[in-house]
């Protein structure tokens, strides 16, 4: 009958072929956050160690590299020439001493930085801040004192009249 299907040949006829899509390799497990951050930091030519979200540490911590704390830490942190970042999940109850400190999480303790302390919007700080420069974002919580390190603080301070101190405003 005319409507009867013609038996298809088992083998395809030779002709133009469509190239098969290249298979994308499946990633079985995403890279852990801690490793990813470190490798990113490495490519930016500075290594940042990370205390992850689930880590709870007590004691004295000193390091020769930048550090990000996303977990909980209690004790003392000493990163003389490096930067400490307390991440949004970080909870630190410690005396902190570093070159630079950025706070997005919670810090209870005195913070001293040779260069700068930044308390970001989500930051919550109870303690005394001492640094060459301090910035606190709108919305941050802070209770304590702020003291700015001046060059040659031990020497007789220069006499600066209030009026001239505000000349640049």
Partner 1 sequence: MSPIRTEGSRNKTRIPSAAPPSSPALEWLWKYLSDVRHPHFLDCGAVSPSTVRVLVKRRAKIYVADVISLLQRGDPAVWKTEGKKLVFNEEEFLRRLPRIPLASLTVICCWHLLDLIPRESRTHLAGSLFGLLEPGGVFFCILREPYLAAGVDTHWWFENHNTLGMGGAGQRNFPYPAVTNREVENLIAGASAKTFLTRSGRREVLILKGK
User: 93 CB contacts (<8 Å, ≥6 apart)?
Assistant: 73, 74, 75, 107, 108, 109
149 touches partner 1 by CB under 8 A? no
CB 37 within 8 A of CB 48: yes
Q: How far is the CB of 137 from partner 1 (least distance, A)?
A: 6
For position 152 contacting partner 1 by CB under 8 A, the verdict is no
Could you give phi then psi for residue 22, rounded to 5 degrees?
-70, 140
Cα–Cα distance list, 67 to 3, 59, 89, 152, 157 (Å): 76, 15, 14, 29, 35
Nearer to partner 1, 47 or 132 (CB): 132
Among 104, 121, 123, 101, smallest CA distance to 113 is for 101
What x-and-dash track marks residues 74-113 binding partner 1 by CB under 8 A?
----------------------------------------
**31 contacts partner 1 (rule: CB under 8 A):** no
> Closest distance between partner 1 and the C-beta of residue 160, in Å?
7
Regarding 115 and contact with partner 1 (CB under 8 A), the answer is no
160 binds partner 1 (CB under 8 A): yes
Selected binder of partner 1 within 34, 134, 154, 155 (CB under 8 A): 134
Q: Is 104 exposed, middle or buried (0-12, 13-18, 19+ CB in 10 A)?
A: buried
Q: Which is nearer to partner 1, 36 or 141 (CB)?
A: 141
Footprint on this chain of partner 1 (rule: CB under 8 A): 128, 134-138, 140-148, 150, 157-163, 165-166, 169
């Amino acid at each position: 009958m005319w409507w009867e299907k013609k038996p298809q040949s088992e083998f395809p006829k030779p002709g133009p072929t469509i190239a098969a899509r290249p298979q994308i390799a499946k990633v079985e497990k995403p890279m852990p956050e801690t490793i990813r951050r470190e490798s990113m930091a490495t490519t930016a030519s500075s290594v940042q160690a990370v205390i992850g979200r689930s880590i709870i540490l007590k004691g004295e911590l000193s390091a020769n590299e930048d550090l990000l704390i996303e977990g909980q830490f209690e004790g003392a942190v000493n990163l003389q020439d490096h930067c400490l970042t307390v991440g949004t999940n970080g909870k630190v109850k410690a005396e902190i001493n570093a070159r630079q400190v950025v706070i997005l999480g919670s810090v209870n303790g005195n913070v001293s930085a040779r260069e700068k302390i930044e308390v970001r919007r989500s930051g919550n700080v109870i303690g005394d801040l001492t640094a060459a420069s301090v910035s606190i974002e709108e919305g941050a919580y802070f209770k304590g004192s702020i003291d700015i390190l001046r060059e040659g603080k031990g020497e007789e301070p220069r006499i600066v009249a209030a009026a001239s101190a505000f000349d640049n405003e």
